[in-house]
Amino acid sequence: MALTTNSKVWSIMLIVFAFLTIFFAILFHFKNLFIVLIVDSILVLVTDGIIIEFNKYFGQKSMWVRRMYAITVAISVFLLFYLLVLGQLYDMDCLISSSQKQ
């Protein structure tokens, strides 16, 4: 895309830039809100991609079969995440207890 000398284009770009700058400045002021917004956006994008891929592979199956696959996948992911978190918590507990002994 070539650069333009049209002043209307540049004024719109300046307004959008100013709006985004103010928006992100406010979000950085409220750091917790900013972090939640970013994490939620990432979760929405990942979930949407997973749903699209799931429907691509299992869209032709019956509703009950799709539900069973979805429940099985959800439980498997939850258990894997749970085991990973428990493993990390155990490692952190060992690290803290070993640092307190010194």
Between 100 and 10, the more confident residue is: 10
Residue-level pLDDT at 91: 74
Per DSSP, 5 falls in state: -
At residue 16, does pLDDT exceed 90? yes
Write the pLDDT tens digit of every residue in 34-89: 788 888 889 999 989 888 888 888 878 888 888 898 899 889 988 998 888 887 87
**Count of residues making up the chain:** 102
CA distances from 23 to 5, 15, 37, 39, 68 (A): 27, 12, 12, 17, 43
Burial of 89 per CB tally in 10 Å (0-12, 13-18, 19+): exposed
- Please give the pLDDT value at position 101: 67
Q: Is the pTM of this model over 0.75?
A: no
